[in-house]
Structure 1
Amino acid sequence: MEMRYFRLSDDVYLPGRWELGRLSDQRGEEVWPALLMRGEPAHIEGRIKAPVKIAGKPLDFSHAAMGIPVVHVRAASVFKELAAEDVQFFPVDIEGHPEQYLILNVTRVVKCIDDQASEEVRYWKPEDGRPEKTGQYRAVYGMRMDPSKMGDAKVFRPWGWTVALIVSEEIKEALERIGATGTKFKEV
């Protein structure tokens, strides 16, 4: 039976939930979001801080500003158990929640977007004036994956569209089993 995959995102419609702000390093400087969304290992010195922008119920999975995944240690344990080789964690200090949260950095990229099965894909063209991006995805709507290209991947970012965080059905079910709050899954 073919493994199913899901885009994991932050359920922003949960009533009464918290909202986290921009990450900063120990010097108070913003942590560059792209550093944690490239699908590769990152190096960050010291502790990271995440302010609570809007107070509310803490979640097991949520995004800090710019879509950076922040996970409670319970949710982190799922990723450590099922996909340890493809994830990296950084402790994050959230006011009122010491030692409970980690930044999730997914360090694997898989070239697997199925352009034909996806609703719409757009590429950067030379006339767009961004030569460094020519040939890369500019937009992906209704993203679908080609399961034949997944290999043994359980958590990854799709090549060319690393803003998306993809998990296997196994990780989805494990997060559901522990009752992880804040997760939203859409099959891809």
Structure 2
Amino acid sequence: MRYYLLRQDMTVSEKWVLGDIRHVDNWKFSDPPVNFMEPGVYVLDIRFDGVELDYSLAGYASAPVLSRKARDSLMGLPDVDEPYMNVVFEPVVIEGKAVSSDYYLMIVESQADCVDESRSRFDVYTSSDPVRPDLAGSYRAFYNLVVDASKVGGKHIFRLKKYLGAIVVSEEVKLRFERAGVLGASFESVGGDRVTVA
């Protein structure tokens, strides 16, 4: 199975920019602790008004927000359906905007330690880092990310362990988004087929 880094498409002109999710530490959406995600409705603001996107990133922790169309396109995947449910959708109210769809936070609870370090180019935090010594051993940045598909465990949507800002999805997710006409998502291959300059 092929995998892709899921990102927000920055080429959409005059798109909206979503603000922080209110009344909660937004970083917890990147690494949800057990029993943190109480079912309910979350609220966020519009930072800059503009074209609604089916896939957006909200606030300082870049929490994914999906339209009903985008969410529905993922139904039937084992990650989303019982008994696994490694990906949970919670309703979100977008204050100050008359929206044309229902919107949902996509909470990705699954992580995979699957970076092919022999084929990737990256930096890591060290214990002598002047700002984040607490992240020693975690990835600081990737210049070329390659995922070892044999270590993914068949997941379709997951975050990278030791680099939780990255959401990786399978080709099946990419195809479902494309068939549904999801606006706002872009996909970068992490299969080692990208050409990079040394």
TM range (shorter): 0.7 to 0.9
Per the TM alignment, residue 52 of structure 1 is displaced from its structure 2 partner at its CA by 1.6
Of residues 84, 95, 98 in structure 2, which corresponds to 1:96? 98
How many angstroms apart in 2 are the aligned matches of 1:35 and 1:79?
23
Which residue of 2 is the match for residue 181 of structure 1?
183
How many angstroms apart in 2 are the aligned matches of 1:50 and 1:169?
30
Which residue of 1 is the match for residue 165 of structure 2?
163
Aligned 1:1-188 pairs, distance under 5 A: 3-24=1-22, 29=23, 31-38=24-31, 42-44=36-38, 46-66=40-60, 67-82=62-77, 83-84=79-80, 85-94=85-94, 95-97=97-99, 100-118=102-120, 120-128=121-129, 130-188=132-190
How many angstroms apart in 2 are the aligned matches of 1:98 and 1:181?
14
Which one-letter code corresponds to 2:122 in the other structure?
A: V
Q: Secondary structure at the match of 2:181?
A: coil
Per the TM alignment, residue 15 of structure 1 is displaced from its structure 2 partner at its CA by 0.9
Which one-letter code corresponds to 1:53 in the other structure?
A: R
Unmatched 5+ stretches in structure 2: 191-198
How many angstroms apart in 2 are the aligned matches of 1:39 and 1:156?
12
How many angstroms apart in 1 are the aligned matches of 2:143 and 2:51?
31
Which one-letter code corresponds to 1:57 in the other structure?
A: V
Identity of aligned residues (%): 31
CA contact (8 A) 1:39 1:109 kept: no
How many angstroms apart in 1 are the aligned matches of 2:68 and 2:184?
14
Per the TM alignment, residue 112 of structure 1 is displaced from its structure 2 partner at its CA by 0.4
CA contact (8 A) 2:19 2:46 kept: yes
- CA displacement, residues 21-76 of structure 1 (integer Å, 9 cap, x when unaligned): 1111xxxx3x3221111166642474311212211111110111221100001111
How many angstroms apart in 2 are the aligned matches of 1:123 and 1:102?
33
- CA displacement, residues 138-182 of structure 1 (integer Å, 9 cap, x when unaligned): 222221101111121100001111100111000100010000000
After TM superposition, the score normalised by the length of structure 2 is: 0.83
Q: Secondary structure at the match of 1:132?
A: helix
Q: Secondary structure at the match of 2:163?
A: coil
Per the TM alignment, residue 136 of structure 1 is displaced from its structure 2 partner at its CA by 1.9
How many angstroms apart in 1 are the aligned matches of 2:2 and 2:27?
27
Which one-letter code corresponds to 1:48 in the other structure?
A: Y
Which structure is higher in helix share?
1
Per the TM alignment, residue 98 of structure 1 is displaced from its structure 2 partner at its CA by 7.8
How many angstroms apart in 2 are the aligned matches of 1:32 and 1:44?
13
Alignment RMSD = 1.9
